[in-house]
Structure 1
């Protein structure tokens, strides 16, 4: 499993989660907490993938070590068989000497086979060791980013709340714009003006009614004067009482 395949998959998952959170426009604090959880889960996934890679590498290393050990053992057996063959040959027993020489050849073939397998595995082991080191470094980088995200959480939440408060203040200021007749204050002022006009109308109506009452009093005064003069005529004085100056 390559470094790119592990971290590429995890990186795609993290980006998808971030985009989903941003698109949903959730509460900033909840969004950051969810991001921390997603990133933590991604680190867990990376650790599992790296552990599997390391496990496979250790299997290769054990197989390589077994091949190296086997090659050594077959070499020792080949040497032992060759020495035994020489002993029989020195004793004049050619048949037994040839027999042990053949055993030595078989052992040497096994040694060569084990050595070849060990050599073939060495480049793979070397490359896998390099990949594992890069994976471990990438994992440490992810953990560092997570620590930074956790440390940044309080600042990001505070900034989000500050921005929200600023927007609310701006909306409130706009709603009471004294120069805007459509604002809340403008509509309230218009209502007051209508009430003032209504009060003025009632005052004018009351004043008009009061003038009418005074006019009635003047008319009543004139009628009373007429009655007095009529009474004087009937009493025979013949002279209408003079109007007092």
Structure 2
């Protein structure tokens, strides 16, 4: 039963579709690691079972060979006894001749017994030989699957590392995207723009205040000139002359 169990496991694993197993697995790497362990353990069990089966087969073959050899030896003894009986009978020694004929019969009986034993074990040897051949084929298939698993595992690990590196690069590029208004640089730039706009507004406000002061200066100058001309008129000067003679009054803020 143990050998049959090992043989059944070999057949199942050899027929297993590795790609289908990986597609259905949540974590292909863990699945591969477990499969590699299962295959390795199954191969070790299979090798032990096959070695035991081969050992039993060799014992059967050795016993069969001994039976065949014993049958041949008993045949030779029967032939030798029969010839001795014929020789003695030719010499007129009937009693001794009958004795050797009886020995020949006993040898022939032993020969038949050994031949029967040899024939009886031959079907078992044939069946065991077929089982051993199938076990060897199954074991070779498992070893091939194991190599496929190891290669697939290496491929997946390399792809996983590449994908991880690509994701890290993509995340790094995204984190320094200056065009992204939600990024830190984008918010900092927006803050600077607001500060620049505030400074510009203050500058424009200051410039507007200075212009107003200069406008006031011009208005004061005009009023001062009017007062001077009025004073000149009151002093009896002509308007035109008063305008010429009117002293220029400096503006004192």
Residue 53 (structure 2) aligns with: 53
TM-score (norm 2): 0.55
Once the two structures are TM-superposed, the CA of residue 117 in structure 1 deviates from its matched residue by 1.6
Deviations 1:182-223 (A, max 9, x none): x98231385234542342134214433454466567668989
Which residue is equivalent to 1:201? 198
Q: How does 1:140-219 map to 2 (within 5 A)?
A: 140-142=140-142, 156=155, 160=159, 164=163, 168=167, 171=170, 175=174, 185-188=180-183, 191=187, 192-212=189-209, 215=212
* Residues 1:12 and 1:142: Cα distance change in structure 2 (over 3 Å): closer
Task: Give the secondary structure class of the aligned counterpart of 1:187.
Answer: coil
Instruction: Give RMSD over aligned pairs.
Output: 5.6
Question: d(CA) in 2 for partners of 1:6 and 1:88?
Answer: 68
Distance 1:194-1:131 versus aligned 2 partners, 3 A rule? same
Alignment check: 8 A CA contact 1:10 1:46 kept: no
Cα distance between partner residues in 1 of 2:65 and 2:9: 28
Cα 1:158–1:99 shift into 2, 3 Å: closer
- CA distance, structure 2, for counterparts of residue 36 and residue 198 of structure 1: 64
- SS of the residue aligned with 1:185? coil
Structure exhibiting the larger radius of gyration computed from Cα positions:
2
Q: What residue number does 2:98 align with?
A: 97
Q: Which moved more, 1:67-76 or 1:202-211?
A: 202-211
Alpha-carbon spacing, 1:127–1:49, altered in 2? closer, same or farther (3 Å) = same
2: CA distance, partners of 1:25 / 1:153? 8
TM-score with structure 1 setting the length:
0.56
Flag the 1:46–1:13 CA change in 2: closer, same or farther, 3 A.
farther
1:66 to partner: Cα distance:
0.7
C-alpha separation between the residues in 2 aligned to 1:99 and 1:113?
20
Structure with larger RCO (C-alpha < 8 A, sep 6+): 2
The CA distance in 2 between the partners of 1:210 and 1:99, in whole Å, is 152
